[in-house]
Structure 1
Amino acid sequence: MNNAIDYFLRTENTVRMLLAENETCKTKVRLIQENIMVNSALSESLVSSKSFIDWWVKNKNEKDVTFEAHKRYSLEAFASSLLAGTVLQIAARAIELYSENTTVPNEWGKIVRRSFPIPKFFIGRTVHTVPVGLVIYSGRDQYLKTYSGRVIEAINQEVFARLANFSRRLEFQNFVERSSGFYSMHAEYLASNVLDILCWNSYDQYIEDMQQALL
């Protein structure tokens, strides 16, 4: 592939499919959350990201929480993670191949190691003070590290700390604080939350960001 336009054309069908399937998985996850909480005699008004995580950590081993619901949630969350992680990998690879940026803003300079190929990712619109390329980098990088057990990079810690400060997504805050409850349940679901904060719910949203960053 000679350029970013060619890359986008060759990966379009795959990314469309991945994003559509991820939206389906997210809908199923939401329904399972509601079923688990309602079946446990909890008010439907408590069904939110924060309340569900808090409730799950406290009640996941109780007898009134069905094993089948646990299993279904884990399966759908895992599937969403794989789909979202693959989208982030495709996006990150495009940046690695075609970004021509070589500078790092001063505010990030102390965090970025000299040997790191990270300048390429300081491109695109700003998402809660973080360049969209860097959100893609950290989302992809941490997705891969979830399964490899590698040490969390300082750059990822800073990115998710900023996202946590400017968003209501508890997943990012718990990542920054290294919550044990989060790691036992939500670590592999982080990639899907990265797509959410990028607003990549469809291919049109994805390609708008990628074209703005690379063309």
Structure 2
Amino acid sequence: MTESRETNYAGVFDNRLGWGRKPAVLVIDFTYGYTTPGSPLYAEGVVKAVEASVDLLDAARAAGVPIIYTKVMYHPSGMDGGLFAQKVPVLQRLVPGERLVEIDDRVAPHPEDLVIVKNYPSAFFGTSLAATLTSEGIDTLILLGCSTSGCVRATAIDTIQHGFRGIVPRECVGDRHDGPHDANLFDMNAKYADVLPREEVIAHLKGLARTKAA
């Protein structure tokens, strides 16, 4: 009889880190490249994740929780894409002026939100994200975005490596295919972050809002 992954990981990779004192939301690459039918990057799973993130972002704003966005964009020469853009040539289409690089209006940033441009999968790599979080006293990062197996996973690993707690609302991340999506959620939850139901995360944010209003 084949052992289940849950049984195999039990007692070794099943701990929870929980919430810290001050969270922020990181919205990873929810751009039109992933939500526009006909785009080579289009993924129905990402569209569903965008739609599932609207209420969570509203709850974060009501609680005064900082929201940071990322998007991938390159110089027209592709030079700053390095080997990543060579490995995935479609990324070379993500240049200034191209609609595919813009954040989907359903989860659009507000004027007070920070938008970080990145060139590689992790939102930490080559950006000011870690310094920004540290200077703001943030210790917990709620990760939304795409793709689950790519930029979300890379960011989750760097989140814990930089000393921040990671929370991944399950319904608010998406991928091209259920296989990589499910496998990476399972593995992130085992090793790098706490993967929670969206409603549990929203409930925590609403609790912060009530505390703030008291």
TM range (shorter): under 0.3
Normalised by the length of structure 1, the TM-score is 0.27
Q: Answer 1 or 2: which has greater helix percent.
A: 1
